[in-house]
Structure 1
Amino acid sequence: MSYAGDLSPQEAWEKLEAGAILVDVRTESEWAHIGIPDTKGTENDPLFIQWNLTGGIPNSHFIEQLKQQAPEADGTELVFLCRSGVRSIAAANAATEAGFVSYNVLEGFEGAPDQYGERSVNGWKNRGLPTNLGKN
């Protein structure tokens, strides 16, 4: 692991309360249809930068977009979130290589599927952290 570490959803929330910035790397479709984290209780609004574009195509402009939206690599911690905690690992690694202090949120926004395939086991949303229905 080259990034700073993995965080549970609750630990991620605590980092956000301490001034870190959440970077949601899911797709536009996921933001619109599944919901987004609500960080109004923290100092910073989340950043929305797709790691993969809709259809699974890698976003070749990810680091460029991150550099445009995030504070310069000045020690501000970034907390990366995807659906289940997999894409966010790749994003955290890439951001670390670009000079950012980066963390991954274990379980992601929706978490792991249950025995019926429903994502109701864990994750940001299922652990009761603040959520909005969709990104406008």
Structure 2
Amino acid sequence: MTYAGDVQPEEAYAALAADEDAVLVDVRTTAEWNYVGLPELSALGKRVLCLEWQRFPDGALNGDFVEQLQDAGVPDGAPIYFLCRSGVRSVAAAEAATAAGLGPAYNVLDGFEGPHDEFGHRTVAGWKVAGLPWRQG
């Protein structure tokens, strides 16, 4: 593994609550943030850092991702929790952050919406299914 590890959504939320320096970075696209929703961290006195890993609408990798992450003012050594839709793009983001010397960087398993159920709906796992705070874009 080339990053600090994988955590369940509930573990990420607890870590964000326990460590004032810990940051949640949502690496989904602008369309996903606006139409699907965002984690809500205001009860923790925090906000989600939204940085696209892949650009919308063409899906091209965001070549400026690490620079944007560095420019966001994340404190040195702060734990960074990366979240995407299902926990795939967030692994790549955690790997990139680690390679750049940021973090420790963690992947939030199952992401915001998680995998599909047998009916093709995202109702199995993830931030929303765990009942963690979120809001519609």
TM-score by length of 2: 0.93
| Matching residue of 1:36 | 38
Aligned ranges 1:75-90 → 2 under 5 Å: 75-90=77-92
Q: Which amino acid aligns with 1:104?
A: N
Distance 1:42 1:78 in 2: 15
**SS, match of residue 25 in structure 2:** strand
Q: Which residue of 2 aligns with 1:112?
A: 115
Identity %: 50
Deviations 1:88-135 (A, max 9, x none): 00000000111111000001000010111111111001110000101x
1:22, 1:36 → 2: CA distance? 11
Extract structure 1 runs of 4+ deviating beyond 2 A: none
1:127 aligns with 2:130: yes
Give RMSD over aligned pairs. Answer: 1.0
1:18, CA displacement in angstroms? 1.7
SS in 1 for 2:6: strand
TM-score between both structures, scaled by the size of structure 1: 0.94
- Indicate the SS of the match to 1:99: coil
Matched to 2:36, the amino acid is: I
Partner of residue 46 from structure 1, selected from 34, 45, 48: 48
Alpha-carbon distance in structure 1 between the residues aligned to 2:125 and 2:86: 9
| Bigger proportion of residues as strand | 1
CA distance in 1, matches of 2:46, 2:5: 20
Q: How many residues align?
A: 133
Query: Would the aligned equivalents of 1:16 and 1:43 in 2 still touch at CA under 8 Å?
Result: no
